Each structure stands twice: as C-alpha cells, then as structure tokens.
C-alpha cells in the first residue's frame, strides 16, 4: 500500500442501457449483473489493497449518495463526495482532486469508473502499482490502455508514441481517437493502439494545475469551493459549503476529462499510457454482459432460475420467477418485478433510445430520470 | 329456444399448450386469452339462447368442478357433471347422454368443447338451430363442419358425400380423415372437405343406442350408473353414486367420441355434416391466439400493458407488469406471476413437450398435473 496514493471511484452514471434493471434508485454500478456482488462493490475490492479504506474516495451525485454509502459500508462516510448533479467527468474529477490535495498535497490519485469489469485482479494491481510509481516520479498524466481483442467501435483509442523503456510497457501518448469506424478500428489495432480504459493515475496537484491552464472556468469554480471549505473535507459538508458547490457547479461546463484535459495535455507530450491486458470491459450493454458470463453448450448465459430449450446465444436475467426460453436465438430477457424486456441482443445498444421512447409513450414511471 | 334441446359443454381439458398461463387450477377454458372473458364463459353465452340456463349442462373432471361452478354462476349447481378423471370424450359424452335422457327421453343434445372461439355468433346460432332440426327429424348423428381457410394439419377433416338438399348445406359424411399432411390437407380442401369442429348434435337416446353397438364396455358402465342413479340427476350426486361412477370409469377405455362412435357410424351412413363458416378456431396454441387477436401495423398483438419497438409478428400476454419488446420477431411472450415463457411462436406446438421437460428438470411445481 502506497501512503501517498488515493483511489477515487467515479460513480455518478445511470446505466440507461441496462433498463429495466437500472432505474433512478438502482443505477448500473449497483447492479449484480456479473455475479453475486454489485459492480461498484467489485471495484472497491480491487482498489482497497492499493489505497486502503481510509484513502479510497467515491464521487457520486446527491441522489445516489445514500444508496452508495449503504453498498460500501466498509468506507468511512466522509469518503463519499456528492456532486449536486452530474456534469460529466471533468468537474467530478476536479472536485476529487481538491479533496485529495487537502488531505495530502503531494498525493497521487487513481481514478476508476465504478462500473467496469476486470478478470485478472493481480494483473490489474500490478499495472496500477506501476502507474502510481510513474506518476509519483514525473509530472505526467498516466492513463491505462488496454490491448484490444476486437475492433470495438464504441471505445476511444490511444495511439502510442515512443516507449519510455524500463520494465513497464509505458509509452508517450501520440494522440487520442474517439469511437472510430470498424475499418479505422482495425487499422488502429494493427498499429498497436490501445483502448482507453478511463482509468487514470496522476498527482492531484498536477491535475489542478492543468485545469487552470486548459479549463479556467472549472478551475475558478474549484478555487471558490476550496476557499469556502478552508481545508475541511468535502465529504459530509455543511449546508453552506453544499450551497457553494451547487452554485459553482451551475457555472461549470458539462465536459469529460478526456476532452477537457487529456487531449490537450497529450498534444503537449504530457500523457503517458501504460499498456495492459488484465481482461477488461466497460460492461457497456447486455451484449457485453453476455460475452462475459459463462455459457452453456448452446451459447446461453444467465442469472437466476432459467431453462433454455432449443434456444441459442441468449442472455437471461431472472430474479424471483422462472424464465423459460423455447427456440429463440440472440435474445436478451431481463425480468424485473414491474417491467420485462425481451430484445434482440444485437440491438442492445438501442436500449438507451428505448428508455426515451418509454417516456414519450407515457411509461415514464418505469424509466430513469 | 327449443324445449327439447340440451347443450352440453365439454370442459375437462388442461390446455398444456398454454403454459405458463394454464395450470392445474387454471385450465385453458378458464383463461382470458382472447378478451375480457374466459373461453368457457364465451361458450356458455353462445349457447344460452339455444338451450336456456336450465338446459345447459357442463361436464368436467372433479378437480375443476368448483372453479367452473364459480366461473359459470348463472348455471344451476346440478347442471355440472363431474367425471372422476378424464377418459377422453366418449365416456364423458356418454355420461351427459344419460343425464339428458333422464330429463327428457326424446331430447337432442348439442355438444360443444368449452375452449373454442367463434367470431360470428348469429351464424353460429343459425347453424346449430338447423342441426337441431335435422337431429330431431331423423336418426342421424350431426356434426358441424367448418369450411377451411388454410391447410391446417392439426385438425381432422370431414369428406362430404351426397347433399341432403333443402336450405341447409347438409351432407352425408363419406369419411373422416385425422390430421393429414400439408399436401393431403390441400387436396382435401380442393375436394370440398371440411374441418371437424368437434361440435356435435344428436338425440341422446340415439347416442346411447350406438354406444351399445360400437362400445359395449362403455355402454355397460353407463348402464350401471343409470341403475344406481334411479332417475336422479348426476349433478351433485350422493357419495354412493359418485363411488359407482368412479368404479365404472375405471373399466372404461380412454377413447374419443370420434373413434368410438362417429367413424363407425359414418361408415354406415349415419352421420350428417352441416357446412358452416362462422369464424371458428379451436384455439390450439399461442400461434392460433396470435392469428385471432387484432394486430398493430407490424403484426404484433397482445393483452395487457406492452410496447413493441422494432418488433414484428409477435404476441404478448402481459398481466401486471410492463412488457417491452425490442427488435424481436415471431416471438411469443407470456408473463405470469411466477413463470415467464419467451418462445419462437412458430414452435408453439412444442409448449406441450416443454411442460414435460420442466417436470424432468425439477420445475414440476410450475407445471400442470
């Protein structure tokens, strides 16, 4: 365990693509779609050996705060920071950086989305350990790049520059490429490009410095919050501080850390990618869940009580009831107490639009705010 | 209303092909799959104007007796006859014939399966009226033949012989053909053959006479029951009579009225078919239900709260929950409080085998005895 290392779990997402399982009060990171524990619980377990429970923070939105505190009871109450509402990842990570710097001005922060999946925990730990060492040693932003195993078009790619040498596979980042076409994705893979995992490691103070340079509006907001907090924790803040956070959030742009800071720092040679292969997925859709679960001899996978007769390549999420498939293929069935989805699993990216449709058709009560 | 006419609703079936909606305590005839009323309730409504509530009988098995009495509260309690257990239609119709003869020795009985569907109620009534007239006038068994509109292989066919003349389209029956191949079904339709609806009209006394001739074992059993009853109704019988019915049922063969009597009488020129076209179906599977319900522009049909997005030719039976289809085709979804079926609707005949599979796999509690 690194004394100057903090983990920051980013847990503000809704997970619309996991409807009907995901709801306002049950976002993706709280779902048990890959086993007996929620995604965020698995994520917390992965980082506790790196940063310890006292140095593991969670940033979320106010409406999820209680549910997450309940889910992660091992963590101290003050380690949960609440945004008034989601403004993408840049303001969120800025807020966490303020908190880390207040606790330890020289500390490194490891930023991890709450809802990802990792197969090889030891490989993951080794990679993060190496990234922390690099981030301690030099003033660079470190991002974890995953060796791709198929031309996914939904991810961002990292184009590698020159190797840093040493025993860690670390490279200067040449350029970021967001969501390429299939042919471009193939080309990027041939060139050795990596998937951008969204797992970042850097000194909190460096991030705040770069925010001032690239995102002065966010930096000004953070400065106001810091002044109001006067060194106190932003976890469980006073009503006055909460009001100031809300006031400053209103002014901040809705922007991802990738666009806000990483791309700009990358073009100035300040980003390093560590190449890793620990079995990673962002668990982006029911189709991704189907890929990750163990299959029967016909390619069917599922949770709960289910039976597949003559069915193929299908995914079943059952809760209290028995689900029986007869002769269907490439079908996803998600059974919840008040709503049921039966879909073509190859169209599971469209679940997001489906939720919009539900709202328009008067079924808003079944959806996500 | 014909004073010498009794209707006999045959309601002993389980409807295994409608799992998971059909269960031991909720057989097919009690399901509301085509509207707001159960199939048997619709059947009873159709015949009440023909035979009146006092002359409408229901024959069922002991375990369904209470549920059916509750469903058809308009009918007197004594109008329900209970078989100890199902032995196909021949013993059942024999028992009903005993009851009808005891009430009126010269009466005609109209035999109707409880779980069929009829679109044109007036057409149905006119056909039954004409059949009753013929059955009164001459010593023949009358069967209602339906003009086919596609080469169904699951039905029996009636090959017509010479016309009887008169304003009713009535024919001598030349031969019965059970479940033909598709090519044979096409040929039968070209020749003007009819679907055997399972709706029969004949004098009760004639049926008992023919039973003695063709089915002496059944006839002997019925004779013992008649002796024991000594003219009393078989509806709500004494425990002693119930025991005698059970004893005699044990000895009777498990055989349909078609094989037991109609085919034999047909070959002796004693069966008349009336050709009808009142929009009939035996509601034999979820695929049949899909054909009968009104469709949206993509061929989807359903009951309850449901929404289809990019889905085609699918059937949804929803109860308390919202069912959402995304991009699936030819799919049947049947949602019940404890079990859910998602199937290829073109394989809905296989639901019967599926129920056997469930029993083998330890899910017997979800099935039908």
Q: How far apart are CA A175 and CA B326, in angstroms?
A: 38
- The nearest alpha carbon in chain B to A333 belongs to B342
Q: Is the CB of B324 less than 8 angstroms away from the CB of A350?
A: no
Q: Which residue of chain B is at minimal alpha-carbon distance from A341?
A: B324
Cβ contact (<8 Å) for A363 and B307? Answer: yes
B326–chain A nearest CA distance, Å: 4
> Residue A1 — pLDDT band, cuts 50, 70, 90?
low
B363 interfacial to chain A (CB closer than 8 Å) = yes
Considering only CB atoms, B331 lies closest to which of A322, A328, A339, namely A328
Contact state of B326 with A344 under an 8 Å Cβ cutoff: yes
**Residue B58 structure tokens:** 């229901």
CATH number for B5-281: choose from 3.20.20.70, 3.90.1170.50, 2.30.110.10, 3.90.550.10.
3.90.550.10
- Alpha-carbon separation of residue A111 from A1, A49, B130, B337 (angstroms): 16, 15, 83, 43
**Residues whose CB falls within 8 Å of the CB of residue A227, separated by 6 or more in sequence, listed in order:** none
Q: Are B20 and B341 in contact (CB under 8 A)?
A: yes
What does the DSSP 8-state code read for residue B248?
Answer: H
* Closest B-chain CA to A307: B358
Chains A and B form CB pairs within 8 A to the count of 118
Instruction: Give the 3-state secondary structure of chain A.
Output: CCCCEEEEEECCCCCHHHCCCCECCECHHHCCCCCCCCHHHHHHHHHHHHHCHHHEEEEEEHHHHHHHHHHCCCCCHHHEEEECCCCCHHHHHHHHHHHHHHHCCCCEEEEEECCCEECCHHHHHHHHHHHHHHHHHCCCEEEEEECCCCCCCCCCEEEEEEECCCCCCEEEEEEEECCCCHHHHHHHHHCCCEEEEEEEEEEHHHHHHHHHHHCHHHHHHHHHHHHHHCCCCCCCCCHHHHHHHHHHHHHCCCCCHHHHHHHHHHHCCCEEEEEECCCEECCCCHHHHHHHCCCCCCCCEEECCEEEECCECCEEECCCCEEEEECCECEEEEECCCEEEEEEHHHHHHHHHHHHHHHHCCCHHHCCC
Please say if the pLDDT value at position B1 is more than 70: no
Q: Which of A327, A344, A354 sits opposite B347 (nearest CB)?
A: A327
Specify whether the CB–CB gap between A300 and A309 falls below 8 A.
no
Please tell me the predicted confidence (pLDDT) of residue B74. Answer: 95
From residue B111, alpha-carbon distances to A356, B9, B14, B59, B119 in Å are: 53, 6, 18, 10, 18
Rg of chain A over Cα atoms, rounded to whole angstroms, equals 21
DSSP annotation of B23: B
Residue B335 touches partner A, C-beta closer than 8 Å = yes
The string of pLDDT tens digits covering residues B73-129 is 999 999 999 999 999 999 999 999 999 999 999 999 999 999 999 999 999 999 999
Distance CA A310, CA A300 (A): 10
- Does A327 contact B at CB distance below 8 Å? yes
Interface touch B324/A361, C-beta < 8 Å: no
Distances (CA, A) of A199 to A7, A8, A170, A214, B200: 11, 10, 15, 20, 75
pLDDT tens for each residue of A244-279: 999 999 999 999 999 999 999 999 999 999 999 999
pLDDT score of B24 more than 80: no
Contact status of B307 with chain A (Cβ, < 8 Å): yes
Q: Are B280 and B197 in contact (CB under 8 A)?
A: yes
Task: For A349, name the nearest residue in chain B, comparing CA atoms only.
Answer: B326
Tell me the C-alpha distance between B198 and B36, whole Å.
24
B292–chain A nearest CA distance, Å: 22
Are the Cβ atoms of B340 and A363 closer than 8 angstroms?
A: no
Contacts of B344 in chain A (CB under 8 A): 310, 326-328
Question: Is B354 close to A309, i.e. CB distance below 8 A?
Answer: yes
Pairing of strands B170-177, B157-163: antiparallel
Pairing of strands A117-118, A280-281: antiparallel
Cis peptide before A284 (omega within 30 of 0): no
Q: Which of A309, A318, A366 sits opposite B322 (nearest CB)?
A: A366
Partner-chain contact B344 A326, CB within 8 Å: yes
Which residues in chain A have Cβ-Cβ distances shorter than 8 Å to B20? 322, 324
Closest CA to A29 of A54, A50, A59: A59
Interface membership of A102 toward B (CB under 8 Å): no
pLDDT at A330 over 80: yes
pLDDT tens across B284-335, in order?
A: 899 999 998 999 999 999 999 999 999 999 999 998 899 999 999 999 999 9
Taking CB atoms and an 8 Å limit, are A341 and B358 in contact across chains? no
Q: Which candidate in A22, A309, A342 is best for mutational testing of the B interface (most B CBs within 10 A)?
A: A342
Looking at per-residue pLDDT, the higher value among A111 and A85 belongs to A111
A279-290 per-position pLDDT tens digit = 999 998 999 999
Inter-chain CB proximity A340 and B321 less than 8 Å = yes
Q: Please name the residue of chain A whose CA is at the shortest distance from the CA of residue B317.
A: A340
The span from the CA of B179 to the CA of A27, in Å, is 54
Residue of A nearest to B353 (CA): A309
The H-assigned helical ranges of chain B are 39-51, 65-71, 89-103, 121-137, 182-190, 204-214, 216-229, 239-251, 257, 263-267, 286-292, 351-360
pLDDT, one tens digit per residue, over A200-244 is 999 999 999 999 999 999 999 999 999 999 989 999 899 999 999
Is the predicted pLDDT of residue B3 greater than 90, yes or no? no
pLDDT value at A326 more than 80: yes
| Widest Cα–Cα separation across chain A | 65
Identify which of B20, B323, B358 has the shortest CB distance to residue A340: B323
B273 with B171: CB under 8 angstroms?
Answer: yes
Indicate the pLDDT class of residue B167, thresholds 50, 70 and 90.
confident
Q: How confident is the model at residue B166 (pLDDT cuts 50, 70, 90)?
A: confident
* Interface residue B344 vs chain A (CB under 8 A): yes
Using a CB-CB cut-off of 8 Å, the residues of chain A touching B340 are 318, 321-324, 333, 335, 340
Percent of chain B whose pLDDT exceeds 70: 99
pTM, 2 dp: 0.85
Q: Looking at residue A369, what is its pLDDT?
A: 64
Question: Chain B residue closest to A327 (CA)?
Answer: B344
A positions 4-33 inside 8 Å of B (CB): 20
Residue of A287, A326, A332, A365 best to disrupt the B interface, most CBs of B under 10 A? A326
Q: Where are the domains of chain B?
A: 5-281, 286-366
Q: Given pLDDT bands bounded at 50, 70 and 90, which one contains residue A137? A: very high
Taking CB atoms and an 8 Å cutoff, what residues of chain A touch B304? none
Check CB contact under 8 Å for B326 and A337. no
Residue of B nearest to A360 (CA): B307
Residues of A in contact with B360 (CB under 8 A): none
Is any Cβ of chain A less than 8 angstroms from the Cβ of B366?
A: yes
Contacts of A323 (CB under 8 A, 6+ apart): A302, A304, A305, A306, A307, A316, A333, A335, B339, B340, B342
Shortest alpha-carbon distance between residue B341 and chain A (Å):
5
Task: Encode pLDDT of A37-92 as tens digits.
Answer: 999 999 999 999 899 999 999 999 999 999 999 999 999 999 999 999 999 999 99
Q: Do B342 and A361 touch (CB under 8 A)?
A: no
Say whether residue A341 is in contact with chain B using an 8 A CB cutoff. Answer: yes
């Amino acid at each position: 365990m690194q004394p100057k290392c903090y983990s920051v779990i980013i847990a503000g997402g809704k997970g619309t693509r996991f409807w009907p399982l995901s709801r306002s009060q049950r976002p993706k990171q709280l779902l048990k779609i890959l086993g007996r524990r929620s995604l965020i619980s698995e994520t917390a377990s992965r980082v506790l050996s790196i940063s310890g429970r006292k140095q593991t923070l969670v940033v979320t939105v106010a409406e999820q705060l209680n549910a997450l505190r309940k889910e992660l009871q091992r963590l101290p109450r003050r380690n949960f920071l609440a945004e008034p509402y989601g403004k993408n990842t840049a303001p969120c990570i800025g807020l966490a950086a303020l908190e880390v710097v207040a606790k330890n001005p020289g500390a490194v922060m490891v930023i991890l989305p709450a809802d990802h999946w990792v197969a090889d925990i030891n490989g993951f730990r080794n990679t993060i350990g190496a990234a922390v060492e690099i981030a301690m040693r030099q003033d660079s932003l470190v991002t974890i790049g995953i060796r791709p195993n198929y031309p996914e078009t939904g991810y961002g790619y990292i184009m590698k520059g020159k190797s840093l040498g040493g025993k860690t596979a670390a490279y200067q980042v040449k350029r970021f490429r967001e969501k390429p076409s299939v042919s471009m994705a193939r080309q990027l893979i041939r060139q050795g490009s990596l998937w951008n995992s969204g797992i970042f490691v850097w000194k909190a103070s460096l991030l705040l410095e770069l925010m001032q340079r690239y995102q002065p509006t966010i930096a000004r907001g953070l400065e106001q919050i810091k002044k109001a907090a006067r060194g106190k924790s932003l976890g469980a803040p006073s009503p006055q501080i909460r009001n100031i956070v809300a006031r400053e959030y209103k002014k901040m742009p809705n922007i991802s850390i990738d666009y806000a800071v990483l791309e700009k720092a990358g073009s100035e040679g300040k980003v390093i990618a560590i190449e890793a292969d620990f079995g990673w997925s962002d668990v982006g859709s029911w189709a991704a869940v189907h890929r990750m679960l163990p299959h029967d001899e016909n390619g069917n996978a599922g949770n709960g009580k289910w039976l597949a007769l003559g069915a193929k390549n299908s995914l079943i999420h059952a809760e209290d009831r028995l689900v029986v498939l007869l002769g269907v293929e490439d079908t996803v069935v998600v059974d919840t107490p008040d709503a049921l989805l039966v879909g073509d699993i190859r169209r599971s990216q469209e679940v997001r639009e489906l939720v919009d449709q539900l709202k328009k058709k008067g079924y808003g009560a079944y959806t996500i705010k």
